[in-house]
Structures are given as C-alpha cells and as structure tokens.
Structure 1
Amino acid sequence: MRLTSIIPGSQLESEILTEDAFQRIIGLSSTLIHIHEIPDVKILYVNKEITEILGYSLEDLETMNRSLSGLSDNLFPDNFSGIFEELPDVWLREGTIKHKNGGTRYLKTRYTILKKAHGTVTEILGYSEDITEEKVLVERLRQQELIMTQAEVSMKFGSWEWDISTNKVVWSKGLWEIFGQDIELFELSYDSFISLLDFRDQKRMTECIAKCMQDHNPYQIEHSIIRPDGERRILMGKGQPVFDEKGNPIKFLGSAADITELRNTTRQLMNSEALLKEAESIMGYGSWELCLDTGKMSWSKGMFQLHELPENNFPTISLDEYLHHFIRQEDRERIKNACFDAISNHQTFHIEAQLITASNQQRTVILHGRLGEDEGEFPRRIVGSINDITQLRTYEEELEAKIHELNHSNQELEQFAYIASHDLQEPLRKIRAFAEFLQQRLGSKLTEIEFDSLERMRESARRMQEMIQTLLEFSRIGRVQQPFDSIDLSHTLQKVLEDLDEKINDKQAVIHVGNLPVVKAVDAQMHQLFLNLIGNALKFNTAQPRISVSTILTLHSGTKKYWQISISDNGIGFEAEYAEQIFTLFRRLNARFEYSGTGIGLAICKRIVEGHGGVIWAESTPGNGATFTFTLPVFE
C-alpha cells in the first residue's frame, strides 16, 4: 500500500498530470482529501491534512486497517458496494468524526466517483472540509437566539420588522406570545397588525407612524391591543424607520413590551397614594421618614397640612430643627430619647406631645415611630406618623363634664327614688288604711255602691304602690352597679320555682327544665328575670300550663359564643306584630280586669338581659303559646 502516491491502474494513472504534479497540487490544499477503493472502502490515499484536522498519522491509519468508518457513524459508510450505480457523480455528506485527542470534529465531505476508461468504478474521491468552528458558531447563535426568545417570552417583549415595499411584517417569538396569535394561521401584515389594536388606538398609531416617516425620527407610543380571548393588554411600542440613499423609507424596525402589570401596579399605587392623602387630610395625620445617614426628615402631604405649611415648599429639616421649630420644649427630649431607643432596641414608640404650627396654633398630637422594615443589623431609617388628637382631647374633656353632670343627675335621681320609696308611698298607705277603717267601722251601714267605691279606692292605692315599687326597681337596674359572680342558673331557677310554688300548684302546671349553664351575672337580676318570665307563662294561660326551659350554645358575629335560653309555654299567645312592643314600659296587650299587672315586667327583663351583654326576643301566635328567648355571653 502506498498512502502517499497514486495507485497504479487507477483512473489517475491515465491522466495527463504526473504523480509529482498531483502531489504538489494536493499539498497546497487545506482540505482533507482521501481516496477509497471499491468495494471495501479501504483508504488508498490521504493527504497530510488528516494529521492537521484529525490528529492521525499514516501509521495510525495502518493500525486502523486503513478505514475511518469506526470514527464516524454517518460520514464514511462501511460499504459502498452495490449502491454506487445509484449515486450521482458528486454528492455531499455532513457528520461528526472522532479526533485522536477524544474530541469531536464536524466535517462536510463531497464525494465523487472515479472510473476507468471503460466506465468501471474503481475508487471514490472525498474532499472533507473542517466546519467545526462554523458549527460551533451556528450552535452558539442558536443558543443565543433561544435565550433571546425565552427572555422575550418571560419578560413579555418582542421585536419586529416591516418591509414597506412588500408590506411584509416579521415578528419575533415574543410578539406572537404577547398578541396571542397563531403563527400558522394569522396572516401578518401592516394592516392586520393595526386591526389587532384597540379601536381607540388604531388612528393614533397610523398617524404616529406617518409622522415618524415624515420627520425621520423614531417613535415611542403606549397603546392597547385586544387578544383573541378578548383580553386587553397595554404595550409600549418603539419604532425606527430605515431610509435609502434618496431618503425614502424602505423598512421599519421596532419592538414592543407588555406593560399591563406595570400600568396596573402604577394605577393601584397612584390610587393608594390618593387615598392616603385623602385619609391624611380627613383624619388629620401625616407620615414622615427620618434618614439616619443624613439626619434629614421627609414628609407626606398630610404633614404639611398638619403644620400649616405650603406643600413641597419646605426645605429638608433635621430632627433637632424640627423639634426646635414645631414641638413644645417640654416634649422635645422625650421624642429624641424615643428615637434613640427605636434604633438601639428596635422599639416602637407612641408619644403624646404639643405641636406648634406655622401660624402659632397649638395642637395635641401623638407621634408614632419605628425602624423601617428589613433594616437588618444596621438600621438606615425611622418611619412614623403624627396624629392630630386635639379634637379627641376636646371631646374627652366634654365627655368628662357630661359624666360629671350625669353623676350629679344620678345623685338627684337616687334622692328622688328615696323620696318615692318613702314619702310618696306613705300617703298611699294611709289611703288604704283609711278606706279599710271605713269599711270595718261603718260595715252594714254602707250601701253596696259606697262599699264598692271604698274597695276600688283601696285597690287603686295598692296598684299605685306596686307601680312605684316596680318603677324604682326598673330604674335601679343598670344604674346601681352590682358585682358579677359565677351563677348556676339551675339553682337560680329552682329558687324561682319555690317562690312560685303556690301558683304552680293552683294551676297544676307542668314545668320541664333542661340543663342550664353557669354564667357570669348578678344573682338577684337573674332571679328577677326568670321570675318575670315564668310568672307570665303561668299568668297568661287558660288551660293547664305546660312550660319548657331549654338551652343551646350559639355563635354570634362568627366567633363570640353565647348561651341561648328559651322559655316556651302553651298559653294564650299574642300577635307577631306586638313581639317588640311588649318590651316597652307600660305596654299591655290585655285588659287589667282580665290579667293583672303593671306592664313593666318585660321591660325589666330586657334591661337585665342587655345589661349582661345579651338580647331578648319573643315569638308567638294567638292561641298557640309563646316562646321568650334571651342570650348571655359565655365566659371561658
């Protein structure tokens, strides 16, 4: 085998060129040239570029049995036998081949068939060009394009090109994603692009592009688009025209970014700032920030209003300057110390002080302050607010004055109650006693009308005494503070039933009592509550009374627990329209001659329940009894 010479008997042997001339021509080539015999594709000839490109020597080829097929899967077929008649005179293959150092090289090979004079195929000639750098560059460009595409999609922007002469528009991947159009179905042109804009922006965009071409200037415009799903997106578009040597526009290059979220966030921020300014103005407070690096304060709009200063027409001010100009002297040191504590101990402070405005008006304020969030080990700022509580303090003073007046009024009311319970009842007792004396003294001498008149006098005086006593009891509830104790309502109800034992026996009433809870309450008032409700159930009943007392646990306002206690009877009942009226003073639904009473009992029940933080209501239909329900808070 002669790897560096022409093979005797081959087509090359009959050519005009001498072997020496052929060798010199091949030597000038930087292309890997190799000749393979048919049919076993053994290498008959290879030039020195095999070493330059692949690192193999001629000796290496001998050890590889003069074949490169083992180094590549697709570049050097193992056997051309039987297919060369089907091949064109010249054909091309690209593929990878293993370098001697273990790396990979990319080769582009052109093959041609060598024939003898009578047409017999004898050899195959290959020209292999090393395209490794080209492939690496292409791959690098592909990766960069992929990264760019991913960046466009993730960051919601894209680029475009418009060829004015052909009206052809090209979009990058990012723009297709932004517009939500199908790249296979949507026919892209200048007109179709304009049609995708919000109708309110279409004319504005066409005028902007026309002016851009006329003035030879780039443009920037914010506009909206409508996606196929109907979603409206806001874009920031930029474009730059390209002109020929005569100044005629030939194409447009540009980009667009989806700024919908940015605009929404900006709009929300502006709304929040507007609401904050409005709240500061209405609520009388301002926000401030103290930069610890510079020692300077920055103010919100509310701060300028609070200090009666023109907005943003005020130089930056240090903390010491602020305290000196606007804070009463007695309060300055406390505020400075609070700021130092906030820095050293990360404490929040709330200090009441007197503020002096620019017009020398004094206001009572509360200063709130704390370190800025995420300040870390080395704080950079203190943030806070100032609330004007002047009006609040005025209200508090007025409230204290009203409380003083109320206490004085309560003292007078207690004095009146004493008079009512003693002095007013004394004449009534004498009227009853005098009427009884006349009845006993005159006896049979009285006519029936005279005796009945004296009896009416006694009864009226008795009712007046009872009403005065009940009114005193009603006024005492809620006015006279009594301690709350743990009260077992089962024991309370048992005492009430003992007090009503005679009435219960007279009417042969059947009373069923379920489990009752332990509550925090005034024992005497709970006794009065059950006495009135059970007493009414016995009174307003024409049959054998059947009374039931039950309890359930309920939730009010989602979280607070209440005991709900119901007392049901089979009495005469009442119309539903009176369910609220019966709890007002002196409201009676029945004539006095039918059912006795003062009309105050249920009003007392309502005041007792509400004084314990509960509510009371009634449900009934005439002839079917009534159910009175009240709630009491559960104390854990």
Structure 2
Amino acid sequence: MESAIVRQREIERTLRESVCSFRELYDEAPIGYHELNAEGRITRVNPTELQMIGYTFEEMLGRYVWEFAFDQEASRGAVIAKIARSVALCPFERTVRRKDGTTFPALIKDRLLYNARGDTIGIRSTLQDISERKRTENALRESEERHRTLIKSLPQRLHFKDCQSVFVFVNASLADDLNMRPEDLIGKTDHDLFPKELADKYRADDLRVMHTRQPEMLEETNIVQGRERIVEVVKTPVISDEGDVMGVLGLFTDITDRKQAEAALKESQAWLTTIFEASRDGIVVEENELIVYGNKSFAHLYGYDKAEELIGKPTSIVQTAEDNKRIIEFGRKRLHGEPTPSVYEFKGKQKDGTVIDAEAAVSTFCIADKSYIITSVRNIVERKRVEEKLRIFTARLEQSNRELQDFASVASHDLQEPLRKIQAFGDRLKIGCADSFSTEGRDYLERMQNAAKRMQTLINDLLMFSRVMTKAQPFVPTDLAEIAREVLADLEVRVEETGGRVELGELPTIDADALQMRQLFQNLIGNALKFRRPEASSVVKVRGEIFRPPAGDEVEESSPDEVCQITVKDNGIGFDEKYLDRIFIVFHRLHGRGEYEGTGVGLAVCRKIVERHGGRITAKSTPGEGATFLITLPVKQHKGLGGDE
C-alpha cells in the first residue's frame, strides 16, 4: 500500500516537473505560440508572440485571433473551416498586424486540440516572423529578375547546352537570329537547326571544350537571314561544385562592323602610306623633338638611303644649329596654342654636311593624348635660284621702265623741239617765200610739213601709250555715264562733221582711273566715227551692264564677284576677225594712211588701259557690217592692283 502511494507521488512529481518544463519551453520558445478555443478566441499566448505583435497578455486573452490579422475576413473563414475539419491543416503564410499598426509576414502552423470524446475543442498554433526570409527571397527574386532581364537584353547571343549539346537556355537575341522563340529552341540540338556539316562542327567544338575543361575563343563566318556576318564565339565549360561537367555556355558577339572598320582602317592606312611614300615632298612626324616617321622623299632630301636611318633621331640632325633653335621654339609655341607661322623657310643639313634651302609647312595633331607635329618639307634650292634670276630680271625691267620714262621725257621735250622748228621755218617759207618757189618746190615744202605733222602725232601717241602705266591714277568710284557724256561733248564737232549720232545707254559706276576711262571711251567712239562707210551715216551705240561671271569665266585671277561689260557698237566698215589679235598691237593698221588717218596706237592704248584695270577687251565684226567692241572690267578693284600699288 505504502509503495503504491510512493509511486503515485513520484508520478505526480514527475508530471509536475514535466508540466513546468513544458511551460518554460512554451514561454521561452524563440517562436510565438498561442491556443484558441472552439470559437476562435485566444486562450493562451506565449511571451515571444506578445513581443512580436506588441500586445499584453490581458489585451489578447479572449479576443478573436483574426482581429490581429491584416485580412480579417480571410483569417476568420480559415479558422472556422479548420475547427469544423472541412480543410486540411498545412503551414501557411499570413500578414499579421501589430498594435502600432505595422505589419509583418508570418509562417503559421496549426494543430487541432481534442477532448476525451475526440471532439475539436480548439487550435494550437506556432507563429514565426519571416520578415528576414521574405527580404532575402525578394532580394533574390529581384536579383534573378535583373539577371534574367540582362541576359534577355544582351546584344550578344547566349546559350547553355547540356553534355549532349541539347539547348537548355537561349536568350532572345539568339532566338531572333534563328527567327524562332526562345522556348521553341529548348530541347533541340544543333542538328535540328543547322546543316549537318555545320552542326557536326558545333558538336565537335562543344566536346573539345568539355574535354579540355578550358574556354575557347573562335572566329566564324555565317549567314543569318540572308546576311553574311562575322562572329566571335566564346565557349566555356560549366562545371558543378562536385567537379562534374554540366555542359557548355556559349557567347556569340557579332563583330562584322568591327571587322569592316578594321578593314577600312587598314585600307585607309595603306592609302595614307601610299600617298606619303609617293609624295615628292618630304613628310616627317615628330614627337618631343624626335623623328618618329619619315617618308622616302624626306630621307632622300637629306641624303639618306632609308627613312629608318632617321627614326628616333633628334630633329637637329637635319637642321642647322641656328635654325634648329628657332624651329624648336616654333614647335613649343604651336603645341601650347600660341600663334606661329605655319609655313617658313630654313636651312637644312644633309648627311654629308651640305646646307640646303628648304621650306616647311607645319601642323599639329593628337592621338591618344599624345601631341605630334607633322611637317611637309620641300627643297627650294632651285626655286631660290629662279627667285634670284627673277630679282635680277625685275631690277633690269625696272631699269628699262626708267629708261622708257626717260625716253618719254626726251620725246616730250627734246624730240618735239626740232619738230617745232621744222614746222615753224616751214610756215615762214610758205608765207614769205612761196612765190619764189617753183611748183615742185612748193610740193616738197608741203610734204615736209605733212611729215613733220605725222611725226608730231606719232610722238604724242607714243607718249599717251607710255603714260598708261607711268602716269596712272588710283582707282576710285567712277561714274562711266558721266565720263561718256564728257567724251561726247569733246567729239561734238566730229559727230556733226560726219553726220552721225552716238546713243548712250545705261552705264554703271565702277572702281577705275577716271582719266583712263575717258581715254578708253574717246578712242573707241572716235574709231567708230572714223571708220565709217561713205554711203551711210555713223551710228554708235554705247551701253553697259553688271553681271556675275559664270564659273570658269573669271576676268582675272582675283575672281571678282561682279563685272561690268561695256559694249561699243557701230555700223561702220568692220573688219575680218582673223585680224582680231593684230588690231590691238601698237602701230599695226589694217588700212593705209591714205584711206584713214591715225598711227595704229589707239586700240593698243585701250587694251593697255583695260589690262591695267584687271579686265579684257575683244571685238566681233564682219566686213561691211560694223564692229562691236566688248570690254569687261571688275566692278570692285582689289587692293594692290594698278594705281593702288
């Protein structure tokens, strides 16, 4: 009896200890625990869960469990269904609302509680805060999505094949090349997609990479959608943590544009090299005063057989010491953006020490943050000789011009003085002694006076011709209409004598020497009145217009923007155009003195005046139908021309 009592007490003690241990475990568990009755009200809750949601035991006891859920209606339905045993019990996730209104994700596991008869009397649940796990899952999901998006959007073609070369993954770029969807490629092999020869090659490449366990880079040419392209292929074996080969990862990059650019660059380099080597001028590139490139002409210019003999040498090797200092200073200033001459002359030094005259044209360029100076060098020894000859010739020409001016002075004074005496004494003889001369004597006297008169006219015309340049005036805005009216006033008597008329059209204002324009009009209109047909009255038409000359038809090298064309047209005797060049040469005449007066200087003076103004003169004519003289002059004169010198 006593032993039974002792055992009973031992069992009760053990049970009490077990209950205490359970309570300690329940209260100190790292996850939340709570129990519900059959109505869904909370009957027990451990401190961990109270801490999770921020309530006290008293605040939670007796309340419906779904009051603490974020979606109360869903939670209520689930609890009632579980107590009624209408749904299976399984772990689920629920959003729980804390006392302060914030929420957190929780993993809940339920267990039904029964009485002795087997009736459901409640639910015991564990509640685990899975916020950290959710953050990790979301981060992993976002990372996977980013990688998936990156792989899909890669312009490179990407695939993964297993050990049997079956496609397990392909990105959109590769699928687009094959005009298929990525999912349609999964499970296929190269033999399903490509000709056998090409598929066999791809399989051999895969096997080799898997066997060697080393990545390979290949360059291939293939045709995609009818266009040939060059691709760079990188194949890498995929190896598991256990060291087993799982397949091959392939990355295809279309390098067609790069290859074409490389080919174009090589072609451009070949062109440049050909041009540089074919150049008759020496071309040299220098960096930090050292020669880094020179063409054959550069080497030959300085007496070297090959440009390689000069590569890496200082520039002073091909320049005299004095000029080398000056040129180095030019280069330093140029690299710093300071103004320096782009073309200059210097003394070059050849391999044997010979000093030559040379001309350099210099520019700078940068490649990869490095500054270089490129120079085109030309041997100007021959040019210097020609320039010296030209200087001597110019000096002689200036001397000749001075002598011509001296001649003009002599013609103006010394030659005309004897003529005036001949004319004066001839007049005296004619007046005082005419009665004592025989008929033959009077004829001789008349011839002598006529010859003296012609000599006087010839000297005056020569003076006029020489003074076109020696007595020229600066170019100024000149009203040609006013000049023409003044000339008509001077020719009024001759116009009346010939019974002709002169019609003036519009004439513009141009930059010109007014006195020479007056001489030009006077000579041309005077000639038109002189060379008239006996049976017809002279009609002379003068007009001018301004226009822009067509390309390739410039008046002179200065290429004026606008030109003035003056037309002097008559109805006189005309001339055969085969003599066009002769009529503008001094002293050349198409008619004898007995037919028309003159010395043959007038049109030569016109040409000299027009040429001095940077223009040109020509004529159109048919014998018996008159002539038209065309004078083309710049509207605006350039500085340094003619009278502005």
TM-score by length of structure 1 reads 0.59
8 Å CA contact 1:160–1:170 kept in 2: the answer is: yes
Q: Does 1:139 align with 2:142?
A: yes
Structure 2 counterpart of 1:510: 503
Instruction: Please tell me the residue identity of whatever aligns with 1:300.
Output: Y
Alignment match, 1:254: 250
Alpha-carbon distance, 1:401 to partner: 0.8
Q: Judge conservation of contact 1:37–1:122 (CA < 8 Å) in 2.
A: yes
Query: Structure 2, unaligned stretches of length 5 or more?
Result: 1-17, 431-436, 639-645
SS of alignment partner, residue 295 of structure 2? helix
C-alpha distance 494-206 of structure 1, shift in aligned 2 (>3 A):
farther
In structure 1, the residue matched to 2:474 is 484
The one-letter code sitting in structure 1 at the alignment partner of 2:290 is M
Tell me the equivalent position of 2:232: 236
Equivalent position of 1:630 in the other structure: 632
The alignment status of 1:612 with 2:613, answered yes or no, reads: yes
Give the conservation status (yes or no) of the 8 Å contact 1:585–1:603: no
SS at match of 1:389: strand
Equivalence map 1:345-356=2 (5 Å): 348=340, 352-356=345-349
Do 1:533 and 1:567's aligned partners in 2 also have CA atoms closer than 8 Å?
no
Q: Alignment identity in percent?
A: 18
Match of 1:9 in 2: none
Question: How far apart, CA to CA, are the structure 2 residues paired with 1:537 and 1:176?
Answer: 91
Given the alignment, which residue of 357, 373, 397 partners 1:384? Answer: 373
How far apart, in 2, do the equivalents of 1:103 and 1:619 lie?
108
Post-superposition offset of 1:492: 3.4
Output the CA distance in 2 between the equivalents of 1:565 and 1:60.
115
Write the distance in 2 (CA, Å) between the matches of 1:619 and 1:180.
77
SS of equivalent to 2:77? coil
1:81-139 CA deviation, whole Å, 9 max, x = no partner? 89969x96468977876778998755577899999999999879797672321222222
CA shift, 1:288, in A, is: 0.2
Q: Distance in 2 between matches of 1:595 and 1:24?
A: 150
Aligned to 2:434: none
Q: 3-state SS of the aligned residue for 1:562?
A: coil
Q: Identify if the C-alpha distance between structure 1 residues 119 and 592 changes in structure 2 by more than 3 Å, giving closer, same or farther.
A: farther
SS of the residue aligned with 1:165?
coil
The 8 Å contact of residues 538 and 571 in structure 2, kept in 1 or not, is answered as no
> Structure 1 residues 72, 610: closer, same or farther in 2, change over 3 A?
farther
Deviation string for 1:552-584 (max 9, x for gaps)?
578979997633324457867999xx8xx8974
Q: Partner of 1:77: helix, strand, or coil?
A: helix
Matched with 2:158 is 159
Change in CA separation of 1:35 and 1:381 when aligned onto 2, cut-off 3 Å = same
2:500/2:537 contact within 8 Å kept: no
1:513 match: secondary structure = coil
Residue in 2 that maps onto 1:328 = 320
C-alpha distance 570-137 of structure 1, shift in aligned 2 (>3 A):
same
- The answer as to 2:539 corresponding to 1:551 is no
Pair 568,59 (structure 1): closer, same or farther in 2 beyond 3 Å: farther
Distance 2:61 2:606 in 1: 116
Aligned to 1:220: 217
Write the mapping of 1:423-462 to structure 2, written as runs, cut at 5 A. none
Distance in 1 (alpha carbons) for counterparts of 2:438 and 2:97: 145
Per the TM alignment, residue 287 of structure 1 is displaced from its structure 2 partner at its CA by 1.0
CA positional deviation for 1:284: 0.9
Q: Secondary structure at the match of 2:160?
A: strand
Partner of 2:387: 399
RMSD of Structure 2 on Structure 1 (CA):
6.8
**CA distance in structure 1 between the aligned counterparts of 2:99 and 2:328, rounded to whole angstroms:** 79
Deviation at 1:140, TM superposition (A): 3.0
Post-superposition offset of 1:23: 8.4
Distance 1:573 1:250 in 2: 109
Choose from 293, 304, 310 the match for 1:300.
Answer: 293
**Which residue identity lines up with residue 394 of structure 1 in the other structure?**
E
Q: Distance in 1 between matches of 2:591 and 2:183?
A: 91
- 8 Å contact kept, 2:220–2:232: yes
**Cα gap change, 1:66/1:226 in structure 2, threshold over 3 Å: closer, same or farther?**
farther
Q: Structure 2: how far apart are the matches of 1:213 and 1:363?
A: 70
Distance 1:169 1:531 in 2: 102
Give runs of aligned pairs for residues 45-60 of structure 1, distance below 5 A.
50=49, 56-57=54-55, 59=57
Q: For 2:235, what is the secondary structure of its paired residue?
A: strand
Offset from partner CA, 1:413-460 (integer Å, 9 cap, x none): 99799999979x99xx9xxx99xx9xx9979xx9xxxxxxx99xx99x
* Contact 1:566 1:627 survives alignment (8 Å): no
Paired residue secondary structure (1:509): strand
Partner of residue 80, structure 1: 77
Number of aligned residue pairs: 556
Aligned pairs (5 A) from 1:202-221? 210=204, 213-214=207-208, 216=212, 218-221=215-218
State the partner residue of 1:449: none
Q: 1:406 to 1:123 in 2, by over 3 A?
A: same
Per-residue deviation, 1:395: 1.3
CA contact (8 A) 1:583 1:602 kept: no
Residue pair 2:161, 2:169 contacting (<8 A) in 1 also = yes
The offset of 1:372, in angstroms, is: 7.6
1:222-267, CA deviations, whole angstroms, 9 ceiling, x for partnerless residues?
Answer: 4566676x877654332235699xx999843222334455445545
Spell out, residue by residue over 1:149-187, the C-alpha distance to the aligned partner (whole angstroms, 9 max, x if none).
66x4xxx5453334573643744456678x596757996
Hey, what's the Cα distance between the residues in 2 that align with 1:574 and 1:49? Answer: 134
Q: 1:493–1:527: 8 Å Cα contact kept in structure 2?
A: yes
Please name the residue that 2:286 is paired with: 288
Q: Secondary structure at 1:331's aligned position in 2? A: helix
Matched-pair contact (CA < 8 Å) for 2:31–2:126: no
Q: Counterpart in 1 of 2:3?
A: none
Structure showing greater radius of gyration is: 2
- 1:288-317 deviation digits (Å, cap 9, x = unpaired): 010xxxxx7351233973653645567745
CA–CA distance in structure 2, aligned partners of residues 255 and 338 of structure 1? 53
The letter for the 1-side match of 2:372 is: V
Contact 1:368 1:384 survives alignment (8 Å): no
Task: Check whether the contact 2:235–2:249 (CA below 8 A) recurs between aligned residues.
Answer: yes
**8 A Cα contact 1:288 1:384, kept in partner:** yes
Distance 1:70 1:471 in 2: 128
Distance 1:345 1:402, change over 3 A: closer
Moved more, 296-305 or 412-421: 412-421
Q: Secondary structure at the match of 1:80?
A: helix
- Would the aligned equivalents of 2:152 and 2:173 in 1 still touch at CA under 8 Å? yes
State the alpha-carbon separation in 2 of the partners of residues 616 and 164 from structure 1: 93
Instruction: Give, as a single letter, the amino acid of the residue that structure 1 aligns with 2:388.
Output: E
Partner of 2:505, secondary structure, is strand
